[in-house]
Amino acid sequence: MMPMNIIPTLDGERDQDLFESVTEEEIIRLWRSIKGRGLSEDEAWHAVVTGIALDMAFAKSKTCTQIEH
């Protein structure tokens, strides 16, 4: 049986693995989807990059919060 205190650590690793497994093709598909909704190429790219940065920032803060508790 797995000790309860290791679960948050595994959750953090799973979040990190999710970002590491994103492919270039998936990012391009997302960019094209956003661009197809009326944004310019640059605006769509900034939206993708901003979204990735926010996801990573909140994933890190979630991991840090879990470790502190």
Segment 26-50 mean pLDDT: 95
pLDDT at 64 over 90: no
Distance CA 40, CA 37 (A): 9
Mean pLDDT, the chain, rounded, equals: 74
| Per-residue model confidence as pLDDT tens digits over 41-59 | 999 999 999 998 998 888 8
Distance CA 33, CA 21 (A): 20
N-terminal to C-terminal alpha carbon distance within the chain: 22
Q: Under DSSP, is residue 56 helix (H, G, I), strand (E, B) or coil?
A: helix
Alpha helices in the chain (DSSP H): 7-20, 24-35, 41-68
Q: Is the pTM of this model over 0.75?
A: no
pLDDT at 62: 57
